[in-house]
Structure 1
């Protein structure tokens, strides 16, 4: 199974300092939906792992979150894409749960749901905590320079980032990387046969 785990805010949609609280505020980043569709068309299953502490902080409710995701799914479908599942942490930072990234609870839930070992599964996000959560279960970390990741543009990554973190301009560039790498692997297999 070809699986990729994506963050949401700052990776697929515009991040807001005051939180994305409604479907009206949910706005895709340029090219992000098309990038997800390209993954789907290449046989990848796309899953989201997202902190949604706005729920725990009382900034929005589950109905509002469902409307955001309904908008995302509808917009993805319009470009031929889909997200297979959305896993989210509803807790505020002070609740000390095990699912809020950088902890690995959401990733473990994904591995359990799909019955897969997450070793080397690509994960892509715009923040240190996204990559720490994925790397803690063996995922391959990819940082996009959108959302909070824009602060890393043009600088060397700080040492707290997981080893072998790969950096991409945006989600489309990350998808380009994955698809080119996959094509090279397929070509090498054909030569070996």
Structure 2
């Protein structure tokens, strides 16, 4: 079995609710956060399978079509390729918020399905997010959890806290070197 790195998208990989972009509904709204390309490359080099697990309620609410979401994910993969980084798979929940579906975080179904399809040992894997539902989904799936946001630090019961994704990657590199 392999190790997995499950990453939330908005706020972990790309900007959202920033001065430059509010929501990412088109490829031109997608901007990688600083250090993300290098971080994902480090995860790749450390032998992690890297997955994106993202709630995309804008599809269910009619703000974007699934084809536009795929265009955004293609842009993400193209941007990451400039760093020599790659994503193994993207899973998304297109349902409206409060739809009570099994796939919308904090439910763990996206993580569980990816783990099953890619032979991932969840106990040796990480879920990295910037919100409480990300951490809850990771815990329910059986991963270690990492919160990379100060604004929800006192609400989330994460296993670890870091300021950004590159800090997680540096920490894991140091850990693997020991």
Find the aligned partners of 1:38 and 1:114 in 2 and give their Cα distance. Answer: 19
Of the three residues 36, 39, 43, the one matched with 2:40 is 36
Question: 1:126 — aligned with what?
Answer: 130
Question: 2:154 — aligned with what?
Answer: 157
Find the aligned partners of 1:24 and 1:111 in 2 and give their Cα distance. Answer: 31
Q: Offset at 1:39?
A: 1.4
Find the aligned partners of 2:100 and 2:150 in 1 and give their Cα distance. Answer: 28
Any gaps of 5 or more consecutive residues in structure 2? none
CA displacement 1:70-96 (0-9 Å, x = unmatched): 111111111100001001101001321
* Matched ranges for 1:70-89 at <5 A: 70-89=74-93
Question: 2:103 — aligned with what?
Answer: 99
RMSD: 1.6
Q: Offset at 1:140?
A: 0.2
**Is 1:178–2:149 an aligned residue pair?**
no
Question: 1:191 — aligned with what?
Answer: none
Task: Say if 1:19 and 1:54, in contact at 8 Å, map to a contact too.
Answer: no
Larger radius of gyration: 1
Question: 2:51 — aligned with what?
Answer: 47
TM-score, normalised by the number of residues in structure 2: 0.91
TM-score, normalised by the number of residues in structure 1: 0.85
Question: 1:11 — aligned with what?
Answer: 12
Any gaps of 5 or more consecutive residues in structure 1? 185-193
Q: Which runs of 4+ in 1 moved over 3 A?
A: none
Alignment length (residue pairs): 174
Change (3 A) 1:118 1:2: closer
Find the aligned partners of 1:101 and 1:36 in 2 and give their Cα distance. Answer: 22
